């Protein structure tokens, strides 16, 4: 059963995303920040990562860079900011998907299922 790692500092949004993964029949784990996400990836590799752009401690763009040395899982950004700029930034960073809130179950399912069918990303070396 695929495992989805949800990185979001809003417990209500994380719960909603968790419910969507349940509907799809997937397991999920929720973490509120980048450091906990790295720990989760070291413990058990997720099949897909859902990453909020706006986190309390840092921005999702930075967490994306922190995660890429530790996981080959596809990463899908989510954001409340429906700007083309955010979508373009996600594409430039080679993210595997992008969803703007509010997120429908159909859009979520489409993005997650597409990510599950992508080849694994290459690990990026940790910079000293």
CATH of the domain at 18: 3.40.50.2300
> pLDDT tens digits for 74-107?
999 999 877 778 888 898 888 999 999 899 999 9
Task: Report whether 116 contacts 96 (CB < 8 A).
Answer: no
Query: Which residues constitute the domain of residue 43?
Result: 3-80+96-116
Q: Which two tokens stand for residue 11?
A: 């417990």
102 upstream amide cis, omega within 30 of 0: yes
Whose tokens are 């999920």? That residue is 28
8 domain residue, yes or no: yes
pTM, to two decimals: 0.90
Interval 19-75: pLDDT, tens: 999 999 999 999 999 999 999 999 999 999 999 999 888 899 999 999 988 899 999
- Whether 60 is covered by a domain: the verdict is yes
8 Å CB contact between 76 and 48: yes
């Amino acid at each position: 059963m695929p495992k989805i790692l949800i990185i979001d500092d809003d417990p209500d949004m994380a719960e909603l995303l968790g419910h969507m993964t349940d509907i799809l029949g997937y397991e999920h784990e929720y973490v509120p920040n980048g450091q906990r996400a790295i720990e989760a990836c070291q413990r058990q590799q997720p099949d897909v990562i859902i990453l909020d752009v706006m986190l309390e401690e840092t921005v999702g763009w930075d967490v994306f860079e922190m995660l890429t040395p530790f996981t080959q899982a596809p990463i899908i950004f989510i954001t409340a900011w429906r700007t083309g700029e955010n979508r373009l930034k996600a594409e430039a960073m080679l993210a595997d998907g992008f969803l703007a809130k509010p997120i429908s179950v159909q859009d979520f399912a489409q993005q997650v299922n597409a990510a599950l069918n992508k080849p694994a990303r290459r690990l990026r070396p940790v910079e000293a």
